[in-house]
Amino acid sequence: MRYIIIVACMIIVNSRAESFSCSELEEEVKNNIEKFSNICSCATENNATLCETCEFIEGAKNGELSTDDWESLLNRIASASAGGKLSGGERSYFIQDDEVVELCIAALGCGNETLRSVACKTLVSKIGNKKRTRFASAIKATYGSVPLEESHSYVSLYCMCNPEDQDKEAILSWLKDVSDFDYMFVRALCGDTTAEKQLITVFKNSTDYTEAVELAEYLSFIGNQKCAEVLIEKLGSDLFESRGGGFPEGGVISIRVELLRCLGMIYEDEPLFTTDAIMISSYSGRKFEKERGHDKYVEEVNRWVEKHFGHPAWSGPDVWFKGMVLEKNGIKKVEAEHLIYSNIGDGSGLPSLPGD
């Protein structure tokens, strides 16, 4: 299944040689230079030599950046905002600063296709639904009209910004002869309840990790109470995938990690699904146990779900996020990473793990 949000609109350009106008982008950087300078430590440390990021910011002020440089700067500023570096906040999956959203909207409206694609991807997947709704009018105004002649990613973003009824009708009419399943969440955003039900059914029945994660993202984009409920129900799933990249053989990660991120798209003001969820994703199990407390977090999520949905979050007591597949007496079982490493004294002398 193609992931149209990420893949679409990747037009290759020889950007180093390209000349284009980014006056609005440059103005956004100038207006927020103090905040954007917090992306790195050069400004506060009074370094004699500026780092590449600071050079990009200076170049943006002076109208000297190429497409490649702008692309790098946009991504770095977005990552810094999600990391809490611009405003001194906690880490999150999502952009925290309105100024960064405004910068992306300016990029969406510029005439450079590469930068428009970067901005579109960021506005889809790097900001929570609540913040996107606040900026919906500005995003739609940048389009000017329903972008049916553009890439599907642009149509998707437009549909995520509460389009008018006549625009929804135009989009559904445009999709009437399209059978690609990837459009189901777009149809649902335009009020097609049958498409939403079909998407939910396929997600509930999915036994493939990659497919289930993709469908979970679609449901988070829709973001209504029913979709949130379905995501929470899936927290009881035993789906997992193997991990590489320096992890010990047999290392696995539960789909719960991705489901928590998707819930953060819907509940961006709830630290359990943003600040804590990214700790689970980026920390090793033993580091999360040490700094946050695995059982404490599991219980807090349980209380939150019971408060808002009237039932427990987890289907049983053995909740794990990262683990190891161990074999004993011919039977394979996933052992939670935080238990494997935390139950052996203080863990000193054990091999390091990615995320420690």
Contacts of 139 (CB under 8 A, 6+ apart): 105, 108, 123, 132, 157, 158, 161
Residues 17 and 111 in one domain: yes
Amino acid letter for position 24 = E
Confidence band, pLDDT 50/70/90 cuts, at residue 21: low
Specify if 127 maps to a domain.
yes
Containing structural domain, residue 69: 1-160
pLDDT at position 5: 39
Where a domain ends, among 160, 183, 210? 160
pLDDT at position 334: 83
Residues 3 and 123 in one domain: yes
Query: How confident is the model over 299-317, as pLDDT tens digits?
Result: 999 999 999 999 999 987 7
- Name residue, tokens 């008018």: 164
pLDDT at position 353: 52
Contact between 337 and 344 (Cβ < 8 Å)? no
DSSP 186-199: HHHHTT-HHHHHHH
Query: Between these two residues, 341 and 144, which has the higher pLDDT value?
Result: 144
Specify if 102 maps to a domain.
yes
Q: Residue 47: pLDDT above 80?
A: no
Instruction: Please give the model's pTM, rounded to 2 decimal places.
Output: 0.85
Specify if 72 maps to a domain.
yes
Query: How confident is the model over 81-117, as pLDDT tens digits?
Result: 999 999 888 899 999 999 999 999 999 998 899 999 9
- Proportion of the chain above pLDDT 90, given as a percent: 59
Specify if 222 maps to a domain.
no
* Cα-based distances in Å from 265 to 52, 186, 231, 336: 31, 17, 12, 26
Specify if 168 maps to a domain.
no
pLDDT at position 232: 97
Residues 10 and 154 in one domain: yes
Task: Say how many C-beta atoms besides its own lie within 10 A of residue 350's C-beta.
Answer: 14
Residues 233 and 351 in one domain: yes
Contact between 117 and 71 (Cβ < 8 Å)? no
Per 3-state DSSP, the chain is made up of helix, strand and coil in percentages (nearest 5) of 60, 5, 35
Specify if 212 maps to a domain.
no
Amino acid letter for position 14 = N
Both structure tokens of 321: 């996020």
Residues 152 and 3 in one domain: yes
Q: Which of 219, 213, 182 is nearest to 200 (CA)?
A: 219
Specify if 155 maps to a domain.
yes
Query: How confident is the model over 118-158, as pLDDT tens digits?
Result: 999 999 999 999 999 999 999 999 988 888 877 778 999 99
Separation of alpha carbons 113 and 110, rounded Å: 8
Confidence band, pLDDT 50/70/90 cuts, at residue 17: very low
* Mean pLDDT value across the chain: 85
Which of 49-58, 194-203, 250-259 is the most confident on average?
A: 194-203
Specify if 170 maps to a domain.
no
Alpha-carbon dihedral sign for residues 50, 52, 55, 61: negative
Where a domain ends, among 160, 187, 202? 160
Residues 128 and 15 in one domain: yes
Query: Between these two residues, 253 and 149, which has the higher pLDDT value?
Result: 253
Q: What is the DSSP letter of 351?
A: P
Residues 114 and 233 in one domain: no
Residues 109 and 1 in one domain: yes
Separation of alpha carbons 186 and 249, rounded Å: 39
- Say how many domains are in the chain: 2
Residues 19 and 150 in one domain: yes
Residues 149 and 4 in one domain: yes
In three-state form (DSSP H/G/I as H, E/B as E, the rest C), the secondary structure along 333-350 is EEEEHHHHHHCCCCCCCC
Where a domain ends, among 160, 188, 211? 160
Residues 120 and 4 in one domain: yes
Residues 9 and 143 in one domain: yes
